[in-house]
Amino acid sequence: MNNYTKGQALTDTFGRPLRDLRISVTDRCNFRCTYCMPNEIYGERYKFLSRDAVLSYEEIIRVAKIFVQLGVSRLRLTGGEPLLRPNIEDLVSDLSAISGVDDLSLTTNGYRLSKVAGELRKAGLKRLTVSLDTLDDEIFQRMNGRQYGTQPILEGIQAAEEVGFMPIKINTVVQKGVNDHTVFELASYFKARGHIVRFIEYMDVGNRNAWRMEQVVPSKDILHQLNEEMPLVAINKNFAGEVADRYKYVDGEGEIGLISSVTNPFCMDCSRARISADGRIYTCLFASFGHDLRALIRSQATNDDIVKFVTQVWNAREDRYSEERGGYSEQPAKKVEMYHIGG
């Protein structure tokens, strides 16, 4: 059944509106983070998508315009690592020009950020999120699987600051016994620089990161650890559907975020659709199936045909994996991998 009427929000089976679109521009990454693309699986011989299999910039722009027509107002570019895609600033420029886009952001590992921060800003990118799991070089090298130190990422963040990206969000995946003892150092460092660290519970995205519940550090434990040294108080979210619970420092100097997908799921507030690099629509980060939009785009389909297709997909959406996680006797046999659709 098609429940979309122009001018009204497109909703799913639970009445959740479609407001956000995350677009993966590549499945390739120069890191091999243990929780996303472990090196033992994604080695030198791993076959990533061919150039023809990946949506072109023209196709991405067409899709974005249709999703905005259906009520999306926030776009985020992800990967893989989006800064590996050549001339990414051209895509940013075209997306930023779409009427109805209120927010255009990008998530990156930061390794190449110092080279392109200025171009991204000029092109119209509004916000940046940088993934950085620790300031400890030895731990960081183990976690990223490529022996990269933190210096290039910190230089990228500084370059982004200098061209006007403030504040920058720092995404930190916290794993018990791996980097959980470094969260205070990270929070303190970026508090002094006016950026927002968002501590993320280690999640069971995909099937290849050997996730176990005992590796999860609950957000409440992170909050307790930080609160002892730098008192925090809860504040309101910026908008409906924001995933992070926000806390500001009592001294007035900045804030942090906590993303508690495991211990405090937010499925009923989720308003995100994701487009993989090969043009599939995923309605959940933990989905096992993507709807093939690329085939439709590359046929003789009109925009109205694509509107109808997207509407049917979203109207049928009933995902709430994180809320149901505890009810599974074992993990689903197949889930989309994080590098394929972004975080």
Ranges in the chain, pLDDT < 50: 1, 329
Q: What is the CA radius of gyration of the chain?
A: 19
Q: Is residue 8 part of a domain?
A: no
Q: What is the model's pLDDT at position 157?
A: 98
Domain with 324 in it: 20-341
Q: Is residue 7 part of a domain?
A: no
Q: Do 63 and 297 touch, CB atoms closer than 8 A?
A: yes
CATH number of the domain at 317, please: 3.20.20.70
Q: Is residue 280 classed as helix, strand or coil in its secondary structure?
A: strand
Q: What is the model's pLDDT at position 7?
A: 53
Q: Is residue 3 part of a domain?
A: no
**Cis previous bond, 167, omega within 30:** yes
Which helix (H) or strand (E) is 275 found in, with range? strand 272-275
- Report the alpha-carbon distance of residue 143 to residue 171 in Å, rounded: 14
- Report the alpha-carbon distance of residue 126 to residue 167 in Å, rounded: 11
Q: Is residue 13 part of a domain?
A: no
Q: What is the model's pLDDT at position 244?
A: 94
For residue 2, give the nearest of 254, 305, 220, 273 by alpha carbon.
305
Number of domains in the chain: 1
- Report the alpha-carbon distance of residue 167 to residue 199 in Å, rounded: 16
Write the DSSP assignment of 91-136 as a string of letters.
HHHHHHTSTT--EEEEEE-STTHHHHHHHHHHHT--EEEEE---S-
Q: Is residue 1 part of a domain?
A: no
Residues 270, 73, 292: CA angle, nearest 5 degrees: 65
Q: Is residue 66 part of a domain?
A: yes
Q: What is the model's pLDDT at position 207?
A: 79
Q: Is residue 4 part of a domain?
A: no
- Report the alpha-carbon distance of residue 130 to residue 170 in Å, rounded: 5
Q: What is the model's pLDDT at position 78?
A: 97
Q: What is the model's pLDDT at position 1?
A: 43
Q: At what angle do helices 88-96 and 113-123 cross, to 10 degrees?
A: 30
- Report the alpha-carbon distance of residue 278 to residue 297 in Å, rounded: 11
Percentage of the chain exceeding pLDDT 70: 95
Q: Is residue 15 part of a domain?
A: no
Q: Is residue 74 classed as helix, strand or coil in its secondary structure?
A: strand
- Report the alpha-carbon distance of residue 179 to residue 183 in Å, rounded: 7
Q: Strands 272-275 and 255-259, how do they pair? A: unpaired
